[in-house]
Amino acid sequence: MRVLRPVLLLAVLCGLAAATHSQGPRGGNRLSWGRGFPSPLDGGVAVVVTGAPGNGWDFTDLTVRVIDDATNKTLAEDNHPSPAAIVMKDYAGLGGGLTVRVTAMATFQKGADFDFLDLETTVTTK
């Protein structure tokens, strides 16, 4: 029995790890920054986000936020219901030499199922 317990525990843990690993991105939905974005602007940041729903899924919502990295204060926020595959936006008037976090939060839906994907990066404005 002493030998059986560790072997059984190892088998259960390996099974859980294999199940978790095999799931991959739910529904094949993808969210990414456009190549070279977000990029610094004079006193702001340019953002391009691409979203691609998997088979049978809809890209239902995208929220982009620009957050002051030092104070954690949201400087700008845009919500895009039923967004296009590519969303572009320039956030101006933030100030020069400011380090900001840019986040993108997407919702994909297939019937009653939801998939939430997030991106985050840091940019210093010019």
Q: What is the mean pLDDT of each run of 10 residues along the chain (126 residues)?
A: 49 40 64 98 98 96 98 98 98 97 97 96 98
**What is the per-residue pLDDT for 19?**
33
Residue 56: its pLDDT value, please? Answer: 95
Q: Is the peptide bond before 38 cis (omega within 30 degrees of 0)?
A: yes
Residue 57 confidence (pLDDT): 96
Predicted pLDDT of residue 62: 98
pLDDT of residue 27: 84
Q: What whole-number distance in Å separates Cα of residue 123 and Cα of residue 126?
A: 10
Query: Edge-to-edge strand order for the sheet containing 99-110?
Result: 74-81, 58-68, 99-110, 113-124
User: What CATH number is given for 26-124 in this structure?
Assistant: 2.60.40.10
Domain ranges of the chain: 26-124
